[in-house]
Amino acid sequence: MPKAFVCGHPVAHSRSPLVHGYWLKRYDITGSYDAIDIEPERFSSFLRGISGNDFIGGNVTIPHKEAAFELVDILDKAAGKIGAVNTIWLEDDKLFGGNTDWSGFAANLDSVTPGWEDASNAVILGAGGAARGILYALIQRGIPDIRIVNRTRLRAEQLASDFSDGTAYKISVFDWSAQLAALQDSELLVNTTSLGMNDSDTYVPDLTPVSGSAIVSDIVYTPLETPLLRAARESGLKTVDGLGMLLHQAVPGFEKWFGVRPEVTPELRDLVLRDMGSHR
Ligand code: ATR
C-alpha cells in the first residue's frame, strides 16, 4: 500500500491529510497520507529512513522546507531556484525534492482569474521564503515588471539579486514606506507576509493607486478573508484567497505518489472550509 506523509513541527494544524484523504477516497485508491511531527534535530534521520518505513514520499512543511532543500539527492528546477522543497518522492532509490508552492499559486489564479498572467506588472509584499515561490511563479508566467516591497529592504534586495539573471523581466525594490509608489497602476498585488493572520494585524496598504482592474491575492488563508482582501473587495477589486493555493499545491504530489492527477473541486474546498470552521 503506498504511504505518504506531511512532516512539520508543529504539524497538527495541517489540512494536507484532509485534502489527500479526500482524494484517496474519491479515486478509490488504497493508500495512506498521515501527519508526522518531526523536530528539527530529527529531520535528517527521518528523511534518510523513509524508504525503510515504506513511504513513497510526502510533503515537507514549516520549519523543514530549507533543510529538505539541502538534504535531498536531486532537486527539480523550481526547488533549486526557490531554495525550498515542499514535496519529496523516491525514484530509483534516490530522494527527489520539488517545489509546488509556486505552481499551486499559479494554478489557483488560472482557475479563479484566468488571463491573470497578462498583467503588465505585479507587486509582492514581503521577501521571505513564501515570497521566493511567488516571485518564481510571476517570472515563469512572464510578468515583465515585478516590484518587491519589504519591511527590511536588504532582504528584498537580496531576493531581487537572486533572481537577477533573467532578461525578460525587471525587478524593483521599494521601501515599506514607499508602498504608494510601488502600487502605482499595479495590476496584481500578492501579500506574502504574515500580516493579516492575527486579529491584531489590521494594517492594510492604501489601495488607491492600484489599477481599477487589479487582482489582489493573499497567501494567508486563516482568516480566509484577510483585512487586505476585505479592503480590496470593498474597493471593487478582484480578490483571490490563499486556500486555493493550498489545494492546488497538493495536486502534483498526489499524482507522483498515487498515480492519479486529482482535481480541486468546490466540494474539496467546502470540506476544508468546514474543517476551518469558517464556512461561508
Ligand atoms: P515565510 O517563509 O512565510 O515567507 P518569513 O521568511 O519569516 O516567512 O518571512 C515573513 C515575511 O513577512 C517577511 O517579508 C517579513 O518582513 P521582514 O523581512 O522585514 O521581516 C514580513 N513581515 C512579518 N511581519 C511583518 C509586519 N508586522 N509588518 C511587515 N512585514 C512583516
Q: Please report the pLDDT score of residue 40 as a whole number.
A: 97
Q: Please report the pLDDT score of residue 255 as a whole number.
A: 98
Catalytic positions: 65
Q: Is the CB of 158 under 6 A from ligand 1?
A: no
Lookup: cell for 10: 508543529
Q: Is the CB of 153 under 6 A from ligand 1?
A: no
Q: Is the CB of 193 under 6 A from ligand 1?
A: yes
| Ligand 1 atom with least separation from CA of 129 | 2
| Ligand 1 atom with least separation from CA of 132 | 4
Determine the length of the chain: 280
CB-based contact 35:16 (threshold 8 Å): yes
Mutation to probe ligand 1, out of 61, 86, 194 (largest number of atoms < 8 A from CB): 194
| Residues forming beta bridges with residue 36, ordered by sequence position | 7
Q: 267 CA distance to ligand 1 centroid (A)?
A: 32
Residue 232 carries which DSSP code?
A: H
What is the pTM for the complete model shown? Answer: 0.95
| Ligand 1 atom with least separation from CA of 130 | 4
Q: Could you give the residue ranges of the DSSP H alpha helices within 32-122?
A: 43-48, 65-71, 77-82, 101-112
Q: Please report the pLDDT score of residue 240 as a whole number.
A: 98
Q: Please report the pLDDT score of residue 154 as a whole number.
A: 98
Q: Is the CB of 151 under 6 A from ligand 1?
A: yes
Q: Please report the pLDDT score of residue 280 as a whole number.
A: 47
Q: Please report the pLDDT score of residue 181 as a whole number.
A: 98
Q: Please report the pLDDT score of residue 247 as a whole number.
A: 98
pLDDT in tens, 39-87: 999 999 999 999 888 899 999 999 999 999 999 999 999 999 999 999 9
> Regarding beta strands 188-191 and 238-240, do their DSSP bridges make them parallel or antiparallel, or are they unpaired?
unpaired
CB-based contact 17:35 (threshold 8 Å): yes
CB half-sphere exposure, 214, CA atoms < 13 A? 24
Task: Count the Cβ atoms, other than its own, within 10 Å of residue 280.
Answer: 5
CB-based contact 197:221 (threshold 8 Å): no
Q: Is the CB of 63 under 6 A from ligand 1?
A: no
Mutation to probe ligand 1, out of 123, 124, 151 (largest number of atoms < 8 A from CB): 151
From the list 208, 213, 212, 276, the residue with the least C-alpha distance to 242 is 276
- Can you list the residues of the chain whose pLDDT is less than 70? 278-280
Q: Please report the pLDDT score of residue 278 as a whole number.
A: 54
CA distances from 269 to 49, 242, 264 (A): 33, 11, 8
Q: Please report the pLDDT score of residue 197 as a whole number.
A: 81
